[in-house]
Amino acid sequence: MKPRFFSQFETQENPTCYSVSEVTKMIQDCLESSFPPLQIKGEISNFTAHVSGHWYFTLKDASSQIRVVMFRSANQSLNWKPERGESLEVKIQGQVSVYKSRGEYQIICQSMEKCGKGAEEFEKQKEKLQREGLFERKKKLPFLPHHIVIISSPTGAAIRDILNVLKRRYKGIKVTLVPSLVQGKEAPPSLIEALKKAQSLNADVLILTRGGGSTEDLWAFNDEALAKALFAFPLPVISAVGHEIDFTISDFVADMRAPTPSAAAELVVQNVSDLSEQIRKITRQLYHSIKRKIQHLKEKESYLRQHLPHPLKRIQDLQQYLDDLNTHLKCSFFQQTHLRNEKLRHLMSLLESLSPLKILNRGYCLVNRNDTLIKTAHELKKGEEISIRFSQSFALACVNKVGFIDNKTEKEKSDPMG
């Protein structure tokens, strides 16, 4: 993405010819406004301590290097000094800047710490407390606290920043400062004692804070006893220690971390004017929502009145419908009964026509011998008694002769056995 000031060059038909100083100044403005404070890790080389007290060195890694300046006001807070020619890995915090005299960019270093032992100790402490579960439980911040307790140095910039933000966002809120040491060997027990005092103040939330500094300055907030005291503290705790790029054990144990003291104040209280506007907005939305709902119900009522029949009319329609069903059922019953009777008569007629007795009415008869039906004369012998069944009567007879009929000549022939 191009810096905004480049757009003026692209639209000029006859671009202006700038001096070296003007171009350098534009580059300086562009770079210095584009980068926030940075943390950079690298190896010190070409270290020079000027008689003025300022330090000049190069910070490098395997493929790149950056010039760094640490002014006397910043390096005086360190209790150590790099040695010329020493290969030392450090982590610095600084701001990108342009040195106009040479047209070079560099880093203005505000703080510096050695990498290695301190960082290793911090990670071991962090892993140990994490295994013990000190980073897991998080209490919810109150929506509108009435009483805020702040543990910090009474003379530091952090408390002033917090009070200014609170005054601007929510006048009248009760704030109690519990003073404590925030740096040095005596700071952890002082902070723990301040927590004990804060616990008895009947507050809603606690802010633990101090301004920025080197790793050594902030080391008190990595204390294990302090971490356990914070974990056991009954109120929600906001940790706002150092700058945005600084992290301490207290930040991980606290219920919420704020990048700066001012940000902690913004997290703990809502802006009254923002709340008022939000309430007005919600009220308007609620009013319009209820209004739309009422209008919808009115329209629905009107529709139902127009399209739903009167209950009495509905009952009458149902009664008529029942009458129609009853009539249809009767007709259907009689029709089905008639059809079944007709079918029954047809089956009876068919059955009767197939009955052997029906055949007897046409002059035929049945011949039985000892209740056995005789189908041919060959089954009879002369002298046997037989029963002859007619349609309405029977007769007993004695066989005198047995013969058969030749169908071709239609002549009667005697059975030699008969």
pLDDT digits (tens, 9 = 90+) for 260-308: 999 999 999 887 777 778 888 999 999 999 999 999 998 888 888 777 7
> Residue 1: its pLDDT value, please?
46
* Mean local confidence (pLDDT), 128-138: 92
Burial code (b: 16+ CB inside 10 Å, e: under 16) for 148-182 equals bbbbbbeebebbebbeebbeebbeebebebbbbbb
Given a cut of 80, whether residue 116 has pLDDT beyond it is no
| Unique residue bearing structure tokens 């000549």 | 409
Three-class DSSP labels, the chain: CCCHHHHHHHCCCCCCCCCHHHHHHHHHHHHHHHCCCEEEEEEEEEEEECCCCCEEEEEECCCCEEEEEECHHHHCCCCCCCCCCCCEEEEEEEEEEEECCCCEEEEEEEEEEECCHHHHHHHHHHHHHHHCCCCCCCCCCCCCCCEEEEEECCCCHHHHHHHHHHHHHCCCCEEEEEECCCCCCCHHHHHHHHHHHHHCCCCCEEEEEECCCCHHHHHHHHCHHHHHHHHHCCCCEEEEECCCCCCCHHHHHCCEECCCHHHHHHHHCCCHHHHHHHHHHHHHHHHHHHHHHHHHHHHHHHHHHHHCCCHHHHHHHHHHHHHHHHHHHHHHHHHHHHHHHHHHHHHHHHHHHCCHHHHHCCCCCEEEECCEECCCHHHCCCCCEEEEECCCCEEEEECCCCEEEECCCCEEEECCCC
98 — phi, psi (to 5°)?
A: -120, 125
% pLDDT > 90, the chain? 38
CB 134 within 8 A of CB 227: yes
Alpha carbons 183 and 190: distance in angstroms, whole number: 10
Tokens for 378? Answer: 């060959």
> Residue 413: its pLDDT value, please?
55
Report which of residues 274 and 3 the model is more confident about: 274
Looking from the CA of 293 toward its CB, the CA atoms found within 13 Å total: 6
pLDDT digits (tens, 9 = 90+) for 185-194: 899 999 999 9
Domain 134-270 has CATH 3.40.50.720: no
Alpha carbons 1 and 13: distance in angstroms, whole number: 22
Tokens for 199? Answer: 């616990």
Least confident of 11-15, 323-327, 356-360: 11-15
Domain boundaries, the chain: 4-115, 134-270, 360-414
Burial of 57 (0-12, 13-18, 19+ CB in 10 A): buried
Amino acid at 72: R
Domain 4-115 CATH superfamily: Nucleic acid-binding proteins (2.40.50.140)
> Residue 263: its pLDDT value, please?
92
pLDDT digits (tens, 9 = 90+) for 14-69: 678 888 888 888 888 887 788 888 899 888 888 899 999 999 999 988 788 999 99
